[in-house]
Structure 1
């Protein structure tokens, strides 16, 4: 069959080959144009009051969903949108590593590192167990747990390919976690006078418990520069955990699927995931996570000028926003309504417990 197809292609004249290339280019360019417009629109909307707490990535998802509901997605653009979503996502995650300066994390001290590790471990386990208790899909539960525990939509995007989640699961989890983070940001700002924390203590609290980097900045900046600086450092300490968590989840999911495949040998059982993602007993090398760590090292060593680093980070968020817009274009409001209730409930419970744990640990460690 493949040989016949090859023979057929080789018989095509130069004009038909050119027409094929033009058709593919138009598909790619039309898909690219849609996601770029949505990503840029999300960037500017994220600079407005209130919307800045949601951040560019979440707004890009929501704009994608709204665009699909209002105008529909041209069929010829689908191939381009899917390609950009996958490639742009990985490239954006790699460049996102430039946010991390490992020296700052080390200088923050062992208490801050311990706070981040404990909070992440507790939240991952707690949210996942809640998701399983309410009979939520396993992959949706993992994504919700990672988004709540580590760094919101960016964590969801990084972990999604590792556990072979669908576009619907990724988009719903990212949007759910971001909405929760926005709610908690408003609550934090309102509750600051009642918490009994110093400016630095509040910054540590916000950085250790809020979801997105945008949430952390929005919640800490009104309190003062010291609070904002500490909040970002603590938050980036959590972001640094993204690579090992994503890698670990990928290995765990691979072993789980491999074990499941072995049990089904001889029964002619075809797994749904094999239809979409290929054989599950193959370890997918998370090369983009390696790139994320490499870029962290580049930033830590100061290899690039500050201006170049800042520009590349803008590009990173543009690429991630394009990928998120692509995810949003792939789901409709009915799907979001059907899948979003349980993740929201699990994320809400996990976020409350994370806030309580974070506040208690800050008191215990004397970081007030």
Structure 2
């Protein structure tokens, strides 16, 4: 096999990155089209990547650049996404809204993971899908994936399942809004607490007006913030399991802490204190979504459809049933907790 010259390797590396950039820009443009904006550019990026990978394809020499996008740029994107979170908004929403988000997150995590394991889905895919349902869809899945050493094809399956479910329920919520016995404020809490992606929560809550949309974003971003403790707990669980298998003593020093999550919190703090002008924050958030879209494109380019055939139906069923449990609990807790 002929070895590539260093200059050719460098060129191929940047070509791989460029392919993910092109796909990300296509997803961003498509994401502005009515109805497709509900799906969101992250999900569109992985879908386009999957289609590209199985039609046009990519050369093996370009895969290093694709891998860079799906792993390194992913972390930078997650860090910058922290600028969407204003910690003071979470404080103003009150303890009840925080408890509401925390309870639903816990219920969804346990339910989806348990159902997936009951349906004999492997542990890694079960964890990723549970986190995607409970926390913040694709962003949570790709943040947790390195901790559980998930294959890109496994990560892509989980992202696709949550994308389909989230989009489906976004349409259902919008249609059902006039029939629900909620105030606009309660509807916003409900949407933010039970839908998967930030884009889903925003799109569905729009039906209830500005008041519903504002509280939906706060509740949803509270779930996003809880990604940090969940990631740390999963990291501890994985390390303990590895220590038992290798018969090594567990140590916090060797814990694979996702440091980029703390970058996410640092960006949230910067946004909270108003250190950066609003125009700069908006620009950086747009950059975050572009980088995350490039990461999703990288995932899509490496999808193997055989993985869908093997696990897709079972994990979809687990996530669907878990989402229905989440919706039922979210509906009930609004009245039990006296929210709104």
Q: Indicate the TM-score class for this superposition, using the shorter chain for normalisation.
A: over 0.9
Q: Name structure 1 gaps, 5 residues minimum.
A: 1-18, 264-280
Mapping for residues 1-368 of structure 1, pairs under 5 Å: 20-262=5-247, 282-368=254-340
Aligned-pair CA distance for 1:282: 4.3
The number of equivalent residue pairs is: 333
1:285 and 1:367 map into 2 onto residues whose CA distance is: 35
Aligned-pair CA distance for 1:284: 2.1
2:23 and 2:159 map into 1 onto residues whose CA distance is: 17
RMSD across aligned positions (CA): 1.4
Aligned-pair CA distance for 1:178: 1.2
1:250 and 1:50 map into 2 onto residues whose CA distance is: 37
- 1:162-194 alpha-carbon deviations (Å, 9 max, x no partner): 111110111111111011000111111111122
Q: Which runs of 4+ in 1 moved over 4 A?
A: none
- 1:5-50 alpha-carbon deviations (Å, 9 max, x no partner): xxxxxxxxxxxxxx83311211111101110000111111111122
2:112–2:319 contact (8 Å) kept in structure 1: yes
Q: Name structure 2 gaps, 5 residues minimum.
A: none
Give the match's secondary structure for 2:247: helix
2:306 and 2:150 map into 1 onto residues whose CA distance is: 19
Q: Which has the larger radius of gyration?
A: 1
2:45 and 2:243 map into 1 onto residues whose CA distance is: 35
Give the match's secondary structure for 1:197: coil
